[in-house]
Structure 1
Amino acid sequence: MTHSTQKIHIIGAGISGLIAAIQLESKGYAPILIEATDRAGGRVKTDVVNGYQLDHGFQVLLDAYPKAKEYLDYKALELQPFLPGATIFKNRKSQSIGDPTRSIKMLIPTMTSSVGTLGDKVKVLKLNRDLKNKSIEEIFNSPESSTLVYLRKRGFSQAMITDFFKPFFSGIFLETALSTSSRMFEFVYKMFGEGMATVPKAGIEAIPKQLSSQLKNTTFMFNTSVASVEDNTITLTNGTALESDYTIIATEASQFIANLRGQETLWKSCVNLYYEVEAVGKKQPLIQLVADENTRINNLFYVDALETATTGAKNLLSVTVVDDQDLSEKALVTTVTSELATYCNITDVTFLKAYVIPRALPKLDNLRMDCEASETQLKDTIFLAGDHLLNGSLNAAMISGERAAQAVIEKIEGLLQ
């Protein structure tokens, strides 16, 4: 069989599905990408509302990600960097801390900040040094504990954990107890230390758009939902049966495979709210955290503190809620609006839109950096991809898509020999 006669389907046009398609095309194959929504990107999408760029969830690209460097053209994305630090609200006051070794703007605020003791700041420098000298492979081969236990073992004060690490990493890990694996903490912290947190000028969806633009021989089937996957057959929800020589499921597979029912991946959720804000003073590209106990707001960011491709008439504020306590959208908006005024002194706001993201990050144990291509094979002709196979990151999504495509290619070429 020639490459052109191989029917290879990829279910899910998120980052891992797009990378799998890129890999298959590079070897002469012409895959078919099946996507349930109207466009590629999966969880990585951007809407434009009233001229404002609204990412689906507060997302950043850590430009130190090894796989992102391989697949993305950073210059073309016009990446906009955040300052390396954060502004922390507590007791209705704010102060900023950061890494002055990467931005001199953070020197004086960090030195004068009361967040953490002098000993904490020394320990941060030691943590920076230790992780700079620790490879990613070593990180993912290290013994696991929770991030909270890890930070305590490194001697950080409870105040430093409560006022900085907890609000900052709760927004990244999407859980408030710092129960996420220490491997993930070390990996993310290392990536922050070796590069910058960035957002493409046109919003986070510029990433899958750039990946999609690399595909020349891939057929996209948008607004197409899959009901089930069996050997050599994909059944759509409208009853159509598609013949498939090989299928890569680049999304949650348990919904399609009968014998995987009850083995669903657990997911972390969040709610992202956007507000239009009237008057704002000088804005810095710093994430803002709320360290007060029992608040719904985890972090906030003025999107237009960075340069954007489109802009609305006023200022755009993104607010992330990790624990919504099952409030209705109306109740959550009321609560968050009140907290913005009470804790952050942000008033004159108009609610724009909320994104409820039930599958924002996979909830995983025994995190891995990579896997063998053969490990992505579920059945003779069915393969898996997605960050839930490794760790919850864009880097892992890219690796898993690459490995699944490699497994399919090895399978085909092995049969041809």
Structure 2
Amino acid sequence: MGAGLAGLSAAHHLINAGVTVTVVEAASRVGGRMVTDTVEGFRLDRGSQLLCTSYPELGRTPGLSALRLLPLTPSGPAPAGARRGHRGVDPRAVWDRARLGAALGRLASTPTGRLLARPETTTATALATRSFPPRAVDSLLRPLLASLLHDPGLGSSSLCADLVLRGYAKGRIAVPAGGAGVLPELLAAALPPGTVRLGVRATSVAANTVGTDRGGPIPCRAAVVATGARDACALLPGLRLPAFHPVTVLHHEAPEPPLRESLLVLGGDRGERAHALPAGGRGGPVAHTMVASAVDPSRAPADRTLVTSTVLGPLTDQLEPRVRAHLAELYGTDTSRWRLLAAHHDPDAVPAMPPPHDVRRRVRVLWGLYVCGDHRDTSTAQGAMFSGRRAAHHVMRDFGIRPGYGDTARELPAVA
């Protein structure tokens, strides 16, 4: 149950093995937290989903052959008083980039088992003790990992940070063409007709039946709970409820593009102080921002400009004016005429991953009852889809089902 990335991934792997599957989804559309709204012709993501082209599950999950990823280049803020793009070349920065590239290359080639065998601490502590160039840590790695982990304080497990950073080292940060909602929509469209039942909420779950609020209970031989962590804990009272990182996404229309490159503009290294800083001066609440219409023209009507920005942390008073002031600094331009199209706040956006964090939390509750979602692996799209595949393979093993063509029921690695 649940038509987010984890549930749709599990459904595909089970159907590929010949299993009959019904997916019940309480919402009126698929995607869970990964949905895209259409407002005045703009395509606006409700959440902040940064993918990586090296995510293995994007290639392993059936139905995603038509997915088109648009790469982004991470970039720090523009110098104070300067428009973005007008900056000199610092020889020290060139040397730091070379050292950082070599360090990331070593990380990309490190086997998963060796990464997970490292001593675990917080991401902030790990960055301070690793061999990365200090200036590169401050200007790129800290704000980049804060955005990828949705964790401004960098209190996440260093093991999770290593896995995320290795993904960045092996590929490119990217967003789906057409909006984040395209990914689950493609997965759902590739399922047999009638597999997904929208507008049906699961009210109870057991190994042989799923209670719903419409149409009565659904009998089954096995049930997979593929919801967010809070709903999963309500349906399966034995599960542990994690803490969450809240996220706010704001979409502005600008009179003209503040830049025309496919850049992910990072807000800088402010950590937990971001929400205490005033609107004026250097600093502000934005973790990252992009000119979405320059990255993906399909997200805005012709000749109109969409700027999408992400704030990490609780919703505060006067957030939008503070964001607008910060965007003026980040882009080096006047934002007084920018118009807010939409803002979406999710207090449970991303499950927290403080140390010690089990990157492979159990997905088998008991024989015939399973659970998956980003709260069972790493809190990423990769983790959500991978947990769905793990749950499907546990079903196959428990019921003696042979995997479908191109799949395998062997013991899966902790992460890939």
- Once the two structures are superposed, the pairs formed by residues 182-331 of structure 1 within 5 Å of their partners are 182-216=158-192, 219-237=195-213, 240-251=216-227, 252=229, 253-260=232-239, 263-280=240-257, 282-291=259-268, 293=270, 294=277, 295-312=284-301, 313-324=303-314, 326-328=315-317, 331=318
Which of these residues, 14, 19, 32, is aligned with residue 24 of structure 1? 14
Secondary structure (helix, strand or coil) at the match of 1:273 reads: strand
The farther-off stretch of 203-212 and 233-242 is 233-242
- Once the two structures are superposed, the pairs formed by residues 4-403 of structure 1 within 5 Å of their partners are 11-71=1-61, 76-83=66-73, 85-89=74-78, 91-93=80-82, 112-113=89-90, 120-156=96-132, 160-216=136-192, 219-237=195-213, 240-251=216-227, 252=229, 253-260=232-239, 263-280=240-257, 282-291=259-268, 293=270, 294=277, 295-312=284-301, 313-324=303-314, 326-328=315-317, 331-341=318-328, 344=331, 345-347=333-335, 348-364=337-353, 365-367=355-357, 375-403=362-390
- Answer yes or no: is the 8 Å Cα contact 2:188–2:196 preserved in 1: no
- Answer yes or no: is the 8 Å Cα contact 1:274–1:353 preserved in 2: yes
**Equivalent residue letter for 1:355:** H
Alpha-carbon deviations, 1:277-332, whole Å to 9, x = none?
Answer: 002254110111222753111111000112333522520000111124x414xx22
Query: 1:343/1:301 Cα in 2 relative to 1: closer, same or farther (>3 Å)?
Result: closer
How far apart, CA to CA, are the structure 2 residues paired with 1:381 and 1:401? 15
- Answer yes or no: is the 8 Å Cα contact 2:247–2:349 preserved in 1: yes
Secondary structure (helix, strand or coil) at the match of 2:339 reads: strand
Secondary structure (helix, strand or coil) at the match of 1:80 reads: strand
How far apart, CA to CA, are the structure 2 residues paired with 1:244 and 1:320? 41
Query: 1:145/1:287 Cα in 2 relative to 1: closer, same or farther (>3 Å)?
Result: same
Query: 1:366/1:179 Cα in 2 relative to 1: closer, same or farther (>3 Å)?
Result: same
**Cα RMSD for the two superposed structures:** 2.8
TM-score normalised by the chain length of structure 2: 0.83
**Equivalent residue letter for 2:312:** V
How far apart, CA to CA, are the structure 2 residues paired with 1:225 and 1:232? 17
- Answer yes or no: is the 8 Å Cα contact 1:267–1:363 preserved in 2: yes
**Equivalent residue letter for 1:200:** P
How far apart, CA to CA, are the structure 2 residues paired with 1:123 and 1:367? 29
- Answer yes or no: is the 8 Å Cα contact 1:296–1:336 preserved in 2: yes
Query: 1:73/1:321 Cα in 2 relative to 1: closer, same or farther (>3 Å)?
Result: same
Secondary structure (helix, strand or coil) at the match of 2:77 reads: strand
Query: 1:279/1:358 Cα in 2 relative to 1: closer, same or farther (>3 Å)?
Result: same
- Answer yes or no: is the 8 Å Cα contact 1:31–1:217 preserved in 2: no
- Unaligned runs of at least 5 residues, structure 2: 271-276, 278-283, 402-416
Aligned-residue offset at 1:367: 4.3
Query: 1:118/1:255 Cα in 2 relative to 1: closer, same or farther (>3 Å)?
Result: same
Query: 1:346/1:12 Cα in 2 relative to 1: closer, same or farther (>3 Å)?
Result: farther
How far apart, CA to CA, are the structure 1 residues paired with 2:62 and 2:55? 10
Aligned-residue offset at 1:35: 0.7
The farther-off stretch of 22-31 and 194-203 is 194-203
Aligned-residue offset at 1:120: 3.9
- Answer yes or no: is the 8 Å Cα contact 2:244–2:352 preserved in 1: yes
**Equivalent residue letter for 1:341:** A
Aligned-residue offset at 1:370: 5.1
The farther-off stretch of 18-27 and 151-160 is 151-160
How far apart, CA to CA, are the structure 2 residues paired with 1:37 and 1:52? 22
Identity of aligned residues (%): 24
- Answer yes or no: is the 8 Å Cα contact 2:127–2:137 preserved in 1: yes
Equivalenced residues, count = 382
Q: What is the aligned partner in structure 2 of residue 5 from structure 1?
A: none
Query: 1:51/1:26 Cα in 2 relative to 1: closer, same or farther (>3 Å)?
Result: same
- Answer yes or no: is the 8 Å Cα contact 1:47–1:54 preserved in 2: yes
Aligned-residue offset at 1:217: 5.9
Aligned-residue offset at 1:166: 2.5
- Unaligned runs of at least 5 residues, structure 1: 1-10, 97-107
Aligned-residue offset at 1:334: 2.5
Alpha-carbon deviations, 1:74-127, whole Å to 9, x = none?
Answer: 7622322223x314245454767xxxxxxxxxxx97x8148x766643541331
Aligned-residue offset at 1:234: 2.2
Query: 1:31/1:73 Cα in 2 relative to 1: closer, same or farther (>3 Å)?
Result: closer
